[in-house]
Amino acid sequence: MLLKVILLILFFAVMVGVGIYCRKSASSVQGFVLGGRNVGSWLTAFAYGTSYFSAVIFVGYSGQFGWRFGLASTWIGIGNALIGSLLAWRLLGRRTRLMTRHLGSSTMPDFFGRRFLSGPLRTAAAVIVFIFLIPYTASLYNGLSRLFGMAFGIDYVWCVLAMALLTGIYVLVGGYMATAVNDFIQGIIMLGGIVAVVLCVIHGNGGFSSAVESLSAIPSESAPGLNGAFVSFFGPQPLQLLFVVLLTSLGTWGLPQMVGKFYAIKDESAIVKGTLISTVFAAVVAGGCYFLGGFGRLYGDSVEFSASGIPVYDSIIPTMMAGLPDLMIGIVMILVLSASMSTLSSLVLTSGSTFTLDIVVPGSRKNMGEKAQLLCIRLLVVFFIAVSSALAIVQARSSVTFIAQLMGISWGALAGAFLAPFLYGLYMKRTSVAAVWASFISGVLIMSGCMFCSFTGKVFISPFFTSPINAGVLAMLVGLVIVPVVSLFTKPCDSKEISKMFACYERTVEVRASTALTEKD
């Protein structure tokens, strides 16, 4: 117990110390929100990765999808690395950095407003972010109760309050730069922690070959005719697996807290290095988490089940951890805290800055100065942390299911609304304001319809799309189709203004011959 407490105290002390160290960088709005757009490759890559993977991945998703798909759930981690990281950096990183700096935008809603010359678009995007990021933020506390209860016997409320307080301190004091530095430290912990946990669990089951052999003998309820379903290449439910990969990988392209990391990139070398670092980070962390969850069925006799006979997915990973040595349990605690706090800091910073810069400042009758904007952002960061903490506590202490259901829909709504117009906005001059509105409306309506049907017990479109995961993929795909189609039949933005915007991609720059060949070469 003493060892675990010491580890926690050291962890918290480092997080707060980094916030104090980075306080000078948070003296302006650009510094507080984007680190002055001067963040290097390692910090940006780790900030992207740690915002991507939270305790929800380690405790909830890895347990749930590992139970459903077996070792094939590792494909989710591979998809996160190749689509959610590698492709995202390659297709979005450079263009996002160039366009947002050229437009002077600091948030995703502000990008929509400036890129499409529409104030209402900016306001609508900010409202969507406000509505759906709060429940998403509350979900980060999930899983902490079981793990901390197992390790310390600490009540869930105190875990939530401690995590919220400490995250708030370093975000308020140091802003984006403190978040980025702490994300780097937390990312190192996540990398080492997940590798150590996977090795310990496999060793505890007699080694890799023995664990796989035991898993192959377990029959699948969804594919009774498939022998060894949980060790097969695509698992017992390949279509469901594909939709999970798409939502958790492609969906990141439309999440404001993820895309915002590209705004702050320092230079070209940071993009090149960041792409590689981010991809490797995702492969190890996400791949390791889902690979670990794939062995969850080996603990079927100890896992908690609901009255309906369905396993309590959040109990699977804690059950797997229960037999580990005290040192490893302490490492797991720090790992989960790192995953939760890094994502929490990113979300509340995104929420506070978006609400201030895209709703409060434009709606203010007087011009808000730098200090007033900073104060407003900090107050809203406190507000978002307080509200998300309260929602997490209410969900844990009562029978209210609305919060938990809305959490699962948040990702799909944000990605469904924003992914297509943001992607096309970076690449296609012809993208119209009407097309962006169509994407916003379709994404929110699809996920709201899924949520309504889940509350009322009705079928949404078909039984397959009753799942928020499948509905979220549908929302993204509809957006990717509807934006170019609507753009063809509606009035485009002012061509002169758009040409000026896209000029940032066309200016000539000099590079080394090792980067690009010329006709003389």
Distance from C-alpha of 501 to C-alpha of 496, rounded to nearest angstrom: 9
Which band of pLDDT confidence, cut at 50, 70 and 90, is reported for residue 280?
very high
Nearest C-alpha neighbor of 340 from the set 91, 519, 493, 148: 148
Find out whether 40 and 266 touch, Cβ atoms under 8 Å: yes
Residue 254 pLDDT greater than 70, yes or no: yes
- The HSE-up count of residue 281 (CA atoms within 13 Å, CB side) is 31
**pLDDT number for residue 193:** 82
Bridge partner residues of 305 (DSSP): 311
Would you state the structure tokens that stand for residue 77, as one six-digit string? 């981690």
The amino acid occupying position 118 is S
Task: Name residues whose C-beta falls within 8 Å of residue 298's C-beta, 6 or more positions apart in sequence.
Answer: 205, 211, 214, 215, 218
Please tell me whether residue 128 adopts helix, strand or coil conformation: helix
Which band of pLDDT confidence, cut at 50, 70 and 90, is reported for residue 243?
very high
Please tell me whether residue 294 adopts helix, strand or coil conformation: coil
**pLDDT number for residue 365:** 67
Q: How far is the CA of 76 from the CAs of 73, 221, 237, 455, in angstroms?
A: 6, 21, 13, 28
Find out whether 39 and 266 touch, Cβ atoms under 8 Å: yes
Segments of the chain assigned to CATH 1.20.1730.10: 2-396
The amino acid occupying position 503 is A
Q: Quote the mean pLDDT of the chain.
A: 83
**pLDDT number for residue 508:** 78
Q: What is the 3-state secondary structure (H, E, C) of 240-260?
A: HHHHHHHHHHHHHHHCHHHHH
Please tell me whether residue 300 adopts helix, strand or coil conformation: coil
Architecture (CATH level 2) of domain 2-396: Up-down Bundle (1.20)
Distance from C-alpha of 105 to C-alpha of 103, rounded to nearest angstrom: 5
Nearest C-alpha neighbor of 259 from the set 139, 363, 115: 115
Find out whether 401 and 136 touch, Cβ atoms under 8 Å: no
What is the average per-residue pLDDT within 457-474?
Answer: 84
Which band of pLDDT confidence, cut at 50, 70 and 90, is reported for residue 432?
very high
Distance from C-alpha of 127 to C-alpha of 210, rounded to nearest angstrom: 52
Residue 143 pLDDT greater than 60, yes or no: no
What is the average per-residue pLDDT within 200-215?
Answer: 88
Find out whether 279 and 81 touch, Cβ atoms under 8 Å: yes
